[in-house]
């Protein structure tokens, strides 16, 4: 059982019932007489796991029929190169929105395969806001954005109407709020935030955008090969996909993405209200771009930060230390984190203010 309030940025917190069922499967899974860790990915039992996982994602995200859902490996970092490799010719240009470290890494990889037009960037302001009112060129091959920035605590609260195919890295906020998948042509997400444990990556792709580049594609980097292979062209991360399935079942039973969005809004309001009220703390990014997944904040007196972190840890709040690029604190509040954990943190903040204000 968890004895801590896990605010870590990833791998994610998962529901206790998912941990319990997964731990039992490690010892003996279903009627197989084997551990989930040793089961062959070619068995009908595991093929059913992959199928159910993809179907649950389709249902929870209302994914249109002309989109394919696959599990691959390599995290979002692999997708930074895999997207332009599959979609961008050397003489073509892709449009990118630069909103953080991960967007910057995606841009770096895309430049290896074609031209990149950075349509807007908040880099000069240490990524403290999401650029707006930018123009997506109609002659770009695709437009790439990052929906949520774990390091800086910013989130796209709305997506632009793109005249070209839109690609989105949703690694840290997929399934946390409702989005219209049909507005995008390719969505990718590392599993380790809201989907399941680290090791698997989800790709949701409109099949009609594939197969249009001139280069010959290696099999492992070709989306079409993974689609044809049913996510099992090579040995998949069996345990990661299995736990993702359990977590997706849990999410559906809780009321789906709409209910997750309601809960996440409540958790974010609880903490942001306290940050704005408390005389010792302040947020680090533009109010209108505040993330509901990764809340970054600092102290007006940095000398008190170590003491506050120590008191928060004494109350069971772990994973709060901010990224070195921002400093201070970062409270990551993925789907499985209960409101009660956030209330414990805000209680510590109130007590710390009473002690030091």
Catalytic center residues = 102, 169, 193
Q: Beta strands of the chain (E only): which ranges?
A: 5-6, 67-72, 93-98, 115-121, 143-146, 148-149, 154-155, 166-169, 186-190, 201-206, 281-283, 294-299, 317-318, 329-332
- Dist. CA 118–CA 116, nearest whole Å: 6
- Dist. CA 103–CA 149, nearest whole Å: 9
Q: How far is CA 327 from the centre of its chain?
A: 21
Non-local CB neighbours of 224 within 8 Å, separated by 6+ positions: 210, 211
Interhelix angle for 101-110 vs 75-87, to 10°? 40
- Dist. CA 301–CA 78, nearest whole Å: 40
- Dist. CA 103–CA 106, nearest whole Å: 5
Which two structure tokens, joined as six digits, stand for 166?
Answer: 């839109």
- Dist. CA 261–CA 335, nearest whole Å: 9
SS3 at position 344: helix
Q: 218: which DSSP letter?
A: -
Spatial contact of 29 and 46, defined as CB atoms under 8 Å apart: no
Strands 143-146 and 166-169: parallel
- Dist. CA 201–CA 199, nearest whole Å: 7
**With the C-alpha atoms ordered 299, 97, 202, 84, is the resulting torsion angle positive or negative?**
negative
């Amino acid at each position: 059982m968890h004895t801590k309030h896990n605010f870590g940025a990833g791998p994610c917190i998962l529901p206790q019932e998912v941990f319990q069922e997964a731990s039992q499967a490690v010892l003996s899974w279903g009627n197989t007489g084997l551990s989930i860790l040793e089961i062959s990915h070619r068995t009908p039992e595991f093929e059913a796991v992959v199928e159910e996982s993809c179907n649950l994602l389709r249902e929870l995200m209302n994914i249109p029929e002309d989109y394919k859902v696959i599990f691959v490996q390599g995290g979002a970092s692999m997708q930074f190169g895999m997207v332009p490799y599959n979609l961008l010719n050397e003489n073509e240009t892709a449009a990118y929105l630069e909103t953080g470290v991960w967007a910057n890494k995606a841009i770096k990889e895309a430049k290896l395969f074609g031209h990149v037009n950075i349509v807007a960037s908040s880099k000069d302001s240490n990524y403290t806001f999401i650029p707006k009112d930018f123009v997506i060129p109609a002659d770009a091959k695709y437009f790439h954005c990052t929906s949520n920035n774990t390091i800086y605590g910013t989130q796209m609260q709305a997506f632009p109407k793109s005249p070209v195919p839109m690609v989105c890295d949703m690694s840290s906020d997929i399934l946390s709020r409702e989005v219209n998948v049909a507005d995008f042509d390719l969505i990718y997400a590392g599993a380790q935030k809201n989907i399941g444990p680290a090791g698997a990556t989800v790709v949701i792709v409109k099949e009609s955008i594939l197969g249009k580049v001139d280069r010959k594609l290696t099999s492992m980097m070709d989306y079409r090969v993974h689609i044809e292979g049913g996510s099992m062209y090579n040995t998949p991360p069996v345990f990661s996909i299995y736990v993702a399935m359990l977590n997706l079942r849990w999410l559906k039973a809780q009321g789906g993405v709409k209910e997750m969005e309601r809960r996440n809004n409540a958790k974010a309001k609880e903490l942001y209200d306290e940050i704005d009220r408390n005389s010792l703390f302040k947020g680090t990014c533009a109010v209108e771009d505040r993330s509901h997944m990764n809340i970054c904040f600092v102290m007006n007196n940095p000398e008190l930060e170590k003491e506050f972190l120590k008191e928060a840890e004494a109350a069971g709040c772990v994973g709060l230390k901010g990224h070195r690029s921002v400093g201070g604190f970062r409270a990551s509040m993925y789907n499985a984190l209960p409101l009660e954990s956030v209330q414990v943190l805000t209680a510590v903040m109130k007590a710390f203010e009473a002690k030091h204000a």
